[in-house]
Structure 1
Amino acid sequence: MQYRTPERLQGIVLDWAGTVVDFGSFAPTQIFVEAFAELGIAIGLEEARGPMGMGKWNHIRTLCDAPAIAARFEQAVGHAPTDDDVTALYERFMPLQIAKIGEHSALIPGALEAIAELRERGLKVGSCSGYPAVVMEQVVARAREHGFEADHVVATDEVPNGRPHPAQALANVIALGLEDVAACVKVDDTVPGILEGRRAGMWTVALTCSGNALGLDHGAYCALPEAELADRRQRIEAQFAPSQPHFMIDTIADLSGVVAEIDARLARGERP
Structure 2
Amino acid sequence: MSDFVYQRSYRGKVKALILDWSGTTADAYVVAPAVVFVDVFKAQGVEISMSEARGPMGLRKDLHIKSLTEVPEIRERWKARHGKYPDQGDVDRMFADFVPKQLDCLRKYTNLLPGVATVIQRLQAQGIKIGSTTGFVRSMVNILEEEAAKQGYRPDSSVAGDEVKHGARPGPFMVYKNLDNLGIHPIQSVVKIDDTVSGVGEALNAGCWGVGVARYSNYMDMDTPDQDKQFPKEEIERRLEKTREILRKAGAHYVIDSLADIEPVIADINARLARGEKP
1:90-239 residue pairs with structure 2 within 5 A?
90-161=95-166, 162-216=168-222, 219-221=226-228, 224-239=231-246
Report the counterpart of residue 56 of structure 1 in structure 2.
Answer: 61
* Amino acid in the other structure paired with 1:215: D
Q: 1:108 to 1:7 in 2, by over 3 A?
A: same
Matched residues in 1 for 2:103 and 2:245: separation?
33
Mark the runs of 5 or more structure 1 residues left unpaired by the alignment: none
The TM-score normalised by the length of structure 2 is: 0.93
Q: SS in structure 2 opposite 1:240? A: helix
* Residue 89 of structure 1: how far off its partner (Å): 0.4
Between the aligned partners of 1:134 and 1:76, the Cα distance in structure 2 is: 32
Aligned residue runs from structure 1 range 14-25, under 5 A: 14-25=19-30
After TM superposition, the score normalised by the length of structure 1 is 0.95
- For 1:126, give the aligned amino acid: G
Checking the alignment, whether the CA contact within 8 Å between 2:31 and 2:225 is kept in structure 1 is no
Quick check: 2:23–2:216 contact (8 Å CA) kept in 1? yes
Task: Tell me the equivalent position of 2:263.
Answer: 256
Residues 1:270 and 2:242 are matched in the alignment: no
- CA–CA distance in structure 2, aligned partners of residues 36 and 234 of structure 1: 31
- 8 A Cα contact 2:210 2:253, kept in partner: yes
Greater displacement, 45-54 / 125-134: 125-134
Deviation at 1:141, TM superposition (A): 1.4
Question: What RMSD over aligned residues (CA atoms) do the two structures have, in Å?
Answer: 1.7
Q: Which runs of 5+ in 2 are unaligned?
A: 1-5
**Alpha-carbon contact 1:117-1:256 (below 8 Å) kept:** no
Residue identity in the other structure for 2:244 = E
For the residue of structure 2 that corresponds to 1:198, the secondary structure is helix
How far apart, CA to CA, are the structure 2 residues paired with 1:39 and 1:8? 51
Instruction: Quote the Cα distance in structure 1 between the aligned partners of 2:196 and 2:81.
Output: 30
- Corresponding position of 2:3: none
Q: 2:50 aligns with which of 42, 45, 49?
A: 45
Q: CA deviation at 1:160?
A: 1.9
Moved more, 147-156 or 238-247: 238-247
Letter in 1 for 2:208: M
Tell me which structure has the larger Cα radius of gyration: 2
Q: 1:225 & 1:75 partners in 2: Cα distance?
A: 39
1:232 and 1:215 mapped to 2: Cα distance? 8
Letter in 2 for 1:228: E
Q: CA deviation at 1:117?
A: 2.1
Deviation at 1:169, TM superposition (A): 0.8
Structure 1 stretch displaced more, 43-52 or 15-24: 15-24
Q: Deviations over 1:34-53 (max 9, x none)?
A: 01111111000000000000
**One-letter amino acid of the counterpart of residue 91, structure 1:** A
1: CA distance, partners of 2:71 / 2:7: 50
1:145, CA displacement in angstroms? Answer: 2.0
Partner of 2:89: 84
Contact 1:6 1:182 in 2 (8 A): no
Give me the identity figure in percent. 33
| Number of aligned residue pairs | 272
